[in-house]
Structure 1
Amino acid sequence: MSQRLLMIEDDERLAQMVAQYLQASGFEVAHAGSGRAGLDRLQDAVPAIDLVILDLMLPDIDGLEVCRRIRAQPGAAGSLPVLMLTAKGDPMDRVIGLEIGADDYLPKPFEPRELLARVRALLRRRSAPAADAPASRLRFGSLEIDRDARQVRLGERVCTLTAYQFDLLLALAERAGRVLTRDQIMEAVRGRELEAFDRSIDVHVGRIRAEIEADPKNPKRILTVRGVGYVFAKQQD
C-alpha cells in the first residue's frame, strides 16, 4: 500500500507541482489549502496519513499552531512526522518550528528531489525495525527506551517524543558515556552532516530533556560538553 502524505499549503500551484512529483515517486498525496482544512483532513483520513508537509505561513492558522495541535493529539496521531516548509530566511523561524515539534524543515525555494529525500528519511525512521542489539530495551535507572515499541518511559509515565527525537535519544543512549559532536549526532540520526547554521540538535535535545530530566535546566541524563557536543550518562538514578 502506498504511503499517504498530506500537504498543508495555501499556494495551489506549488502544491500541485509537489503532489505530481511525489505521486510519480509512489506516494498518495492529499492537499489542504489552510490550517483548519489540514487538521480536519487529519482527523477524517481513512486510512491514516503517514506524514505531513506543513507550510509555516498559512492564511488562517499558521503552521506553528497547526504543528502544536498535531503534537497535542494522543497516541500515534501526536507523533506523526511533520516536515515544515519555511519561506523566511531567518534560522530562528526554523528553530521555533523544531521547538514546537516539527521533525525537520526545508526552506523555500527548494528542489523537489530534496523534499523527496527528506520525506523518505522521515518515513524510514518511523517504520525502521529495531537496530541489531542484544536487547530490545535500554534501561538507565527509571528511564526505559524500547526500540521495538519506539517508546520511552520514565517510571510509569510515557514520554512524548517525536520520531526524530526518539532516534536522537536512542543514538545517544546506545553510545552512553561517549561524547558525541553535533555533527556525529546528526550523521547518526539523519545520515548527513550538520549544516553550520543548523541548531536543530540543540533544540531537540532541549525538548528531550524536558521529557526525561527531573530538572531540564540541571540535566543528569544528557550532559552538555561545552565546545564539543553531548554525552548520555551511563550512571543514572
Structure 2
Amino acid sequence: MDGNMAATPGDYDPFAQLSGAFAGRRALLLEDDPALAEHVAERLLAAGFEAVDRFEAGEPALAAAQESPYDILILDRLTAGMDGLEMLRRLRAGAGASSDAPALMLTALGGERQKVEGLLGGADDYLAKPVGDEELVARIAAQLRRAARRARPVGAELVNGPFRLSPGARTLRMDLAEVGDRLIDLSPLEFAIVSELMGARGQPVTKTMLWDRCWVEWKFLPDNFVNIIDARISALRRRLKEQAPELGEALHPLIVPARSQSLVFRDLGGAGG
C-alpha cells in the first residue's frame, strides 16, 4: 500500500477531520499477510479508529463477527481454509452481532468477475491490491456514512448551508434571504456528483469512488478517467457559480480538491440565510 499521507500545499484537507468520524469505531480485518495487516491496522488506528481486530483465517474471523459488533469488515479473499468471501456469505446468512456491518473486500483478485462475485456475495465495496492508504480510508469513511444514512428516513433531504438536496425529487435548491428559494439546474450526472459530495458531509470522496458511483454506464475504468472527471468538475463549478453568485467569490468554487485525488463540497453551515 502507498504510505504517502502528505497533503498537497494549498489543498483543503478533510482527511484531518476523519478522526471524529472514526472515534470509537471498531474494525475487523481478515488478512493473512502479517506485514500488510499491521500496516492497515496502524493506518486505521492513526486515522482515529478505537480498535482493529486482526485475523489470518476465516473461521476465527467469522466467530468474532458473530459474537461482537464491528463498524466495518475488511476482508481478504485469499486466506487459508475459509476465505473472506465465504466467511461473509455465512455471516450475512445468520443473525450475528455484525451480520449487517458494512464489508469491504481488499484482495489481489481484481478481475471484473471476481468483483462481481464479491459484491453479489454480500460485500458493499471491493478494492484490488495494491491500494493507497487514503483511498482505503476514504472508502471506509464512505461505508460508515452509508450505514448512518440507512438509519435515517428514506428520501431525507441533505442540507448544507443554503442548499437543500432532495434525493427523492432529484432536485437541488438554494434558499437565501436576499434572493428567496431557487432551483439549481443540473444534468443527471451533475446531480449524481453533487449528491455524492454533499452526502459525504465534508469528508473526502476520491475520484475513483466518484467514477464508480456516478459514471455507472461505464463498465470499466479508462486510463483517462481522471481527465474525464476533472473536465466535468470544472464545468460543474462554473455552473454552480453562475447559478449561485450571491455566495460570493470567497466560497467559489464550491467543490474543492483534497489529498489523494479527492474532492469535497464546501461546508456552508454558516452561509445560509
* Length-normalised TM-score, structure 1: 0.57
- Cα deviation, residue 185, structure 1: 5.4
Contact preservation (8 Å) 1:86, 1:94: no
- Letter in structure 2 aligned against 1:16: E
**CA distance in 1 between partners of 2:133 and 2:76 (Å):** 15
Change (3 A) 1:187 1:64: farther
State whether structure 2 residue 99 is matched by structure 1 residue 82: no
2:34 counterpart residue number:
12
Aligned ranges 1:105-116 → 2 under 5 Å: 105-116=126-137
Q: In the alignment, which residue of structure 1 is the partner of 2:142?
A: 121
* Equivalent residue number for residue 26 of structure 1: 48
Residues 98-140 of structure 1 deviation map (CA, whole Å, 9 limit, x = unaligned)? 0111000111011111111111111111124866xxxx457xx
> Is the Cα–Cα contact under 8 Å of residues 83 and 103 in structure 1 kept in the other structure?
yes
Distance 1:34 1:112 in 2: 23
1:56 aligns with 2:77: yes
Match of 1:233 in 2: none
5+ residue gaps, structure 1: 139-146, 148-169, 200-237
Q: Is contact 1:187-1:194 (8 Å) kept?
A: no
**Does structure 1 residue 194 correspond to structure 2 residue 211?**
yes
Q: Which residue identity is paired with 2:62?
A: L
> Secondary structure of the residue that 2:99 maps to in structure 1?
helix
Structure 1 counterpart of 2:131, which letter? F
- Counterpart in the other structure of 2:123: 102
- Give, in whole Å, the separation in 1 of the partners of 2:105 and 2:25: 18
For residues 62 and 125 of structure 2, what CA distance do their matches in structure 1 show?
19
Kindly indicate whether the alpha-carbon contact (under 8 Å) linking 1:54 and 1:85 is maintained by their aligned counterparts in 2.
yes
Amino acid at match of 1:107: A
Distance 1:95 1:107 in 2: 12
Q: 4+ residue runs of structure 1 moved beyond 6 angstroms?
A: none
Q: How many residues align?
A: 161
Residues 1-237 of structure 1 mapped to structure 2, 5 A cutoff: 2-27=24-49, 28-45=51-68, 48-74=69-95, 77-128=98-149, 136=153, 175=170, 188=195, 192-195=209-212, 196-197=218-219
The 1:74/1:107 distance shift into structure 2, 3 A limit, reads same
Comparing both chains, which one has the higher relative contact order based on Cα–Cα distances under 8 Å and sequence gaps of 6 or more?
2
After superposition, the Cα gap between the structure-2 partners of 1:106 and 1:66, relative to the gap in structure 1 and judged at 3 Å, is same
Most deviating of 26-35 and 73-82: 73-82
Q: 1:109 to 1:129 in 2, by over 3 A?
A: closer
Q: Following TM superposition, by how much is the alpha carbon of 1:56 offset from its aligned partner in structure 2, in angstroms?
A: 1.2
How large is the Cα RMSD of the aligned pairs? 3.3
What is the letter of the counterpart of residue 194 of structure 1? W
Looking at structure 2, the residues matched to 127 and 25 of structure 1 have their Cα atoms a distance apart, in angstroms, of: 19
Distance in 2 (CA, whole Å) between partners of 1:187 and 1:62 is 37
Please, which runs of 5 or more residues in structure 2 have no aligned partner?
1-22, 157-165, 172-186, 198-204, 213-217, 222-273
CA pair 60-106 structure 1, distance change in 2 beyond 3 A = same
Structure 1 residues 103 and 137, CA, compared in 2 at 3 Å: closer, same or farther?
closer
SS of equivalent residue, structure 1 residue 49: coil
**Cα separation, partners in 2 of 1:129 and 1:13, compared to 1, 3 Å:** same
Shift of residue 44, structure 1, vs aligned partner: 3.1
**Max radius of gyration: which structure?**
2
Structure-2-length-normalised TM-score:
0.50
